[in-house]
Every structure is written in C-alpha cells, then in structure tokens.
Chain A
C-alpha cells in the first residue's frame, strides 16, 4: 500500500516534470518555427517582387536593345520621337500604385545621369533631362558591375525600394532601367507578422508562466504529499500503539469486571443469607420455645403423650416452614430457562415473601396496590430479581437517609408496575447515569451493577421498558412489559 502510494506519487511528479519539459520545448519550437517562417514569408514576398520586376525589366531591356539597333540608344531615341513615345507607352502601361516610377536613364560623357524614357503620366521628365539620383553610388555600381541591384530608400519612411537593371549591349551598359516600387504590402505583411509575434509572445509567456506555476505547484504538492505520508506513518504507528493499549485496557477491565462480579455474587449471597436468617429467626425461636416447653414438662412429668405428639407436630410444621424458605430462596435465584406465565400480583407476592420480613424488621412500610390482571409470558425469576433489586435499592436509601415513616409503595395498573419510595428521589445530575454499569451512589456494598442488570433483563430479555423518574416524595421506577400469553 505504502509502496504503491509512493510509486503513484513519483509517477505524478514525473508526469508534471514531463509536462513542464513538453511545454518548454513546445514553446521553444513554436517560437523558432514562427521566427523562421515569418522571415521566410518576408523574404519570399520580397524575392517574388524582385523576381517579377526582374522579368519585367528584362522584357523592357529587350525592347531597348532592339530600339538601339546595335548603336547608341540615346541617338536612336533622339532620332525617332515615335519610337520614344512607343517605348514610354510600354513603361506607362506597367506603372501601377506599387510600381510607381519606371524610367530609363543613361550616363553622359561627364558621367551625369540623364533621363531617356519616363513612364510617368504626370510630371513627366523630358528626354535627356538631367537626373540626380539619391544614393548615386549604387547607380554607378550598376555600370561597373553590370548587374542588377536593388536598395532601400530608408530616408522615405522605408516604404520605397529602387530596382536598377543594366541594359547590356555588346557587354556595354547602354542604359539603366529604374523601377521605384512600394514595399507597403510587404510592410503590412510584416506588421501582421509582428502582431502575430506579439500574440505568440504573450501566448508563450503565458505558457512559460503556466510552466513555472506547474513547477511551483509540483514542488508544493511534493512537500504536501511528504507531510501527508509522514502524518499517515505517525497515525499508523499511533494506531498500533493505541490498539495495544486498548487491548491491555480491555484485559484489565475484564479482570476488574470479573472481580466485581465475584464481589457482587458474594454481596448477593450475603444478602440472601441475611434474608434467610430473618425468615428463619421466628420459626427457630418457636422451635426453641417448643423444645424448652417439652423439656420443662418432661422434667416435671407433666408431658402427656398427646401433648408430646402435638409439640412434635408443631416442630415438624416449623421445620417444614424452614425448608420451604430454603426452597423459596433457591427457586428465586435459579435462572428461568423458559418463559412462564405470570401476573404482576404473583410477581409482587413471591418477591415480598423474600424481603417482607426484612423490611418489616427495619420498620419500612410496604404498601401494595395491584389493579392488574394482565398476564405476561416472561422469565419470571429474572423479573423477581429486578423487582427485588428495586425494593432493596429503595430500602437502602430509606435506611441511609434515615427517612421518617419510610415506605415502599408497589402499585400495578395495566402493564405498568411502579415501585416508589419516599427517599427524596434521584438527583437530576445523575438521573441519566444510574443505568450505567459500575455507577453507584451507595457509600458501601454498591457494585453499580444492579440497575444496569435490571435494565438489560427488562428491555433485552423480556422486551419491556424500565424507566425512572421522581415524584414529590422520592424515586419512581416503572416496569412496562408487553402483555403476552404462553402457548
């Protein structure tokens, strides 16, 4: 798990770096390609322009060579005005907005340039008019090198270029054809390319920014994942420790529970012995008194056989009563394996058989008001233990608080059985805790398991409810059982 998480983390990091590298190289490639393409477009436009002009001027040169007829062009044109007009008409036809000035010049004996032919429609130069070109050096180079050339007129806002084509006859330059052409279209194209370059620049900048952000985020994410991995590791270690501690604590608690249960059992046994003792005290006293009477009468020879039989009968009855008490207690604490039919009346009667004497001895009044004949099919002995627990709790509090005229009132109506006392009730702050295990308010002999076990018996075993509240005198415990009949 750890390995696969680590592996996926490394995978994502490498992916980010791969992506970042791709963006970087893509940006570089786009920039380089665009730069080269834009230069190519720019130079291609100029080249195609020059190529066109070269073709045009070559055609014009053919006409001029033909017109010169093997001699001087200037002389031929001077002689034949119509030829001049015809050739100027050819130049005129070629003049457009882009190819603005098309004219032919030559050099006189003094090396000055003169106009031979002018393709202009307005401001037309005259034949042999002196012409002073700007950048005359380039014009002279055409004569020297006998090769075409073109150059920029940077001084006229850089829009215009001049193309110069030498007209060669027998290896001699007889004239130069000049074309002033506009670069406006090329400039517009360059402007568009520049605008595109700006957009591309912004795009690439944005891409590089994304790249930077990606690297930063990858770095931050890596730190975050590192931290999370560390925390997960810590939590895992903590969980292992916690599990061990819980295990240890549970074992300790089990041990404690075991001890408490043993204590509870001993306490119950003690209580039972106490109750048996109470039950036995009166018959044992009666047996003792009968035995003394028999002994006295026998010493004084006053014991007749009839009387002896009557006393023996009485002792026998009393011992049977003692035996019954033992049976009652044994039945009471023996868990019921099967549900049995019972009413609240029988439940209360059987329970009071056990504790009534004890309560009577402690001057606690028992008030019983049973107005219910509802039959319940339930675990009777367990319910008796619950009722006994509620009565004993009431007894304990009445004794502990030394309540005047103490009483325990057991009433039943329908499926509700109430046990109330005048012990002052349960304080509000502990009302919700009294059914919790190990919760006890008793100063001694309180296991904290009685009410907890009672609630489990009533609600989980018998399917009823065990509720608690206070009235003006004391606590009120209510047992609600669902009415049912055994088959």
Chain B
C-alpha cells in the first residue's frame, strides 16, 4: 500500500512538478533520516523548496548538526560536511559526486530517483521497502 502511495506521489510529481518536489523530498529523506527536523545544508538553489517544509531546517553553514548535504551542482562540498551524507538533486551533480548516496533529478523529461546501496551502507543509512526498487546496486 505504501509502495502504491509512493508510486502515486511519483506519478503526481510528473504532473505537478513544482508542488510535489518538496513533498518528495519530505517523503524520501523523511524515510531515510529519523532525526526531526532534518538539518540540511544546501549547496545551490534547492534551499527554497526545503525552507518551505516543516520537516527540514535549512542551515547556512556546515556544522556537526547537519544531517544531510543537498547539492544541485557539482561544486566542492565544505570540509566540515565532507563526511556527511550527500543527496544530489541534479543529474550532473549525481554523476560528479561519487559520495552522494542518492539523487532525485529530471532526466529526459522524466523524474529519476536513484540510490547507491553501497554508499548508503557505508553511511549507515537504509532504504524503506517502498524505495528499495530505486537502489542502483
């Protein structure tokens, strides 16, 4: 049932990308991280989407509190966050950031959700059943 709900959300995302991107972040990252609110450091423009969500607290500087680093471009991640879990939100950022454990981006007009299983295991993160099908390895 949860898988079906998630799939519905995923399809809805295609229909109403702007509205549902934020909800997808909440759903995906909310199921991976148990900490509330999830403290996120954003490199790039996704800040706005996360700031509107109650699930996230977006910080402007890297610190120990940070739960996840979200990148939307291939830029160097600050040293303080280099060991933090990274989630990419563009195709290019996912390709160029090997330490990213997962990504959500648009590719050829289609929403893509990917997780690197090995990286997740390394970071001690796990995927819920509904997201298992998006794991790459």
Contact = CB atoms under 8 A, between A and B. Distances in A.
B99 interface: no
A133 B111 CA distance: 8
B112 A132 contact: yes
A433 B108 CA distance: 114
B117 to A, nearest CB: 12
A123 B107 CA distance: 8
Instruction: Classify the interface of chain B: helix, strand, loop or mixed.
Output: mixed
Interface string B1-32: 00000000001001100000000000000000
Given A132-B134, A134-B11, A180 B112 contact: no
A155 interface: yes
B124 interface: no
Nearest to A134: B110
Contact of A160 (B92, B107, B109): B109
B82 interface: no
A126 interface: yes
A132 B134 CA distance: 9
B110 A123 contact: no
A126 B95 contact: yes
Interface size on A, as a range, is 10 to 19
Contacts of B111: 132, 134
A162 B72 CA distance: 28
Nearest to B109: A156
Given A132-B134, A155-B14, A120 B95 contact: no
A160 B108 CA distance: 11
Interface in B83-105: 91-92, 95
A278 to B, nearest CB: 137
A344 interface: no
Given A103-B108, A130-B136, A155-B15, A123 B113 contact: no
Contacts of A132: 110-113, 134
A125 B108 CA distance: 9
A134 B14 contact: yes
A101 interface: yes
A314 B32 CA distance: 180
A154 to B, nearest CB: 9
B57 to A, nearest CB: 30
A120 B134 CA distance: 23
B64 to A, nearest CB: 33
A180 B108 contact: yes
Contact of A120 (B92, B108, B114): B108
A180 B110 CA distance: 11
A155 B20 CA distance: 14
Interface string A100-138: 010100000000000000001001011001111110000
Q: Report which residue of B108, B109, B111, B134 has the largest number of chain A beta carbons within 10 angstroms of its beta carbon.
A: B108
A131 B107 contact: yes
A126 B136 CA distance: 14
Contacts of B14: 134, 155-156
A101 B108 contact: yes
The residue among B11, B14, B110, B111 with the most chain A CB atoms within 10 A of its own CB is: B110
A153 interface: yes
Interface in A414-428: none
Nearest to A125: B107
Interface in A301-359: none
A132 B136 CA distance: 11
Nearest to B108: A101
Given A120-B108, A123-B92, A132-B112, 15 more contacts: A101-B108, A101-B109, A103-B108, A125-B91, A129-B95, A130-B114, A131-B110, A134-B14, A134-B110, A134-B111, A155-B11, A155-B14, A156-B14, A156-B109, A160-B109
22 contacts: A101-B108, A120-B108, A123-B92, A123-B107, A125-B107, A125-B108, A126-B95, A130-B112, A130-B114, A131-B107, A132-B110, A132-B112, A132-B113, A132-B134, A133-B110, A134-B11, A134-B14, A134-B111, A153-B109, A155-B14, A180-B108, A180-B109
